């Protein structure tokens, strides 16, 4: 899943995922797959930005011919501020995960996180949001991007829970009129007083990335609830295990990642690719990687046991 070296045919179509950390990102694989599917050239890379150097890193990439970036943690709020133009969904979120850099009118900021999340929940997981009770954990850029499209899908209630309540209140206030327009009850809480019995729980906190415990008690899950972590791979496993043990349907963020990337590709190139085959290929690749890692760990354990047995035999002799 590594990024191929740019050729003469692709060097003029340079894109990247920009964040910190970024080494884990599957975005190069996804966008290259979309480009092949659509018959379009692309060069896509990972760009690590210093925490205090996002603007400088972004401007250097643009000056070197970069046409667009997918922005990941922790730069989504800052990305919006640097754009000359902002889409309606980026303005509603107050954050951007997409910057189109090749616009004559100036950089365009957009937010595809929420669209990707809703598509994954409704299309891929087969769970309708309409009329449901939704708990959204976190108040950072990912949660801010997700909230607007979640509300637009028509749930009965959305509770935005965060460890720092004022941050959640700020995000909720920006969406208050949107929630009223869609007749959705929007509330704010801390983690411990979030309530109970939600049909859908979405973890948009950085707890999984940091390896921290799930920030809410299991009572937030209704029987048979869908519990989705925006992370994927090993980082999502503690949350997914917690959800399964509580009787919920556990889902990682891989589908959201691919669906939001498809929408971002549309922003960049004007073509909406098919997400399903890319998601299937990505899951298969990750499963193979996991199996290889497990086999390697098993081989190391066996070699260690053999070494111990040999050492024991030598001592007896």
- Indicate which residues carry an active-site annotation: 76
Instruction: Give the Cα-Cα-Cα angle 85, 263, 152 (nearest 5 degrees).
Output: 85
Assess contact for 188 and 139: CB atoms under 8 A: no
**Distance, CA of 141 to chain centre:** 10
H/E element holding 296? Answer: helix 275-316
**Terminal alpha carbon distance of the chain:** 50
Q: Which helix (H) or strand (E) holds 83?
A: none
If we measure between CA atoms, which residue out of 234, 235, 198, 237 comes closest to residue 216? Answer: 198
Secondary structure class of 66 (helix, strand, coil): strand
**Residue 182 burial by CB count (10 A; 0-12/13-18/19+): exposed, middle or buried?**
middle
CB 156 within 8 A of CB 185: yes
Largest CA distance in the chain: 83
Classify residue 106 as left (phi > 0), alpha (psi -120 to 50) or beta: left
Distance CA 142, CA 206 (A): 10
The dihedral of CA 243, 161, 210, 113: what is its sign?
positive
Reported as type and span, the H/E element at residue 194 is: none
Q: What are the residues facing 185 on neighbouring strands? A: 157
Helix H or strand E encompassing 1:
none
Closest listed residue to residue 204, CA positions, set 279, 97, 287, 124: 97
């Amino acid at each position: 899943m590594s990024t191929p070296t740019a050729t003469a045919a692709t060097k003029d179509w340079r894109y990247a995922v920009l964040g910190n950390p970024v080494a884990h990102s599957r975005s190069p694989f996804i966008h290259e797959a979309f480009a092949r599917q659509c018959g379009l050239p692309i060069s896509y890379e990972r760009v690590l930005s210093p925490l205090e150097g996002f603007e400088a890193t972004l401007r250097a990439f643009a000056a070197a011919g970069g046409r667009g970036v997918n922005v990941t943690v922790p730069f989504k709020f800052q990305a919006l501020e640097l754009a000359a133009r902002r889409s309606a969904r980026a303005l509603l979120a107050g954050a951007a995960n997409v910057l189109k850099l090749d616009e004559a009118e100036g950089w365009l900021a957009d937010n595809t996180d929420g669209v990707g999340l809703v598509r994954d929940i409704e299309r891929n997981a087969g769970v309708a949001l309409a009329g449901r009770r939704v708990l959204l954990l976190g108040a950072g850029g990912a949660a801010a991007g997700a909230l607007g499209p979640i509300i637009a899908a028509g749930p009965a209630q959305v509770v935005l829970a965060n460890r720092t309540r004022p941050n959640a209140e700020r995000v909720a206030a920006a969406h208050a009129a949107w929630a009223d327009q869609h007749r959705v009850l929007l509330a704010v809480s801390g983690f411990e007083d979030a309530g109970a019995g939600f049909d859908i729980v979405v973890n948009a906190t950085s707890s999984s990335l940091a390896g921290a415990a799930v920030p809410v008690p299991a009572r937030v899950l209704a029987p048979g609830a869908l519990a989705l972590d925006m992370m994927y791979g090993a980082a999502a496993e503690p949350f997914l295990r917690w959800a399964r043990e509580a009787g919920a349907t556990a889902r990682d963020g891989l589908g959201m990642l691919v669906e939001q990337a498809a929408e971002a590709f549309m922003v960049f190139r004007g073509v909406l690719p098919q997400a399903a085959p890319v998601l299937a290929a990505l899951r298969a690749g990750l499963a193979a990687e996991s199996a290889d890692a497990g086999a390697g760990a098993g081989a190391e354990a066996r070699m260690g046991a053999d070494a111990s047995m040999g050492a024991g035999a030598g001592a007896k002799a």
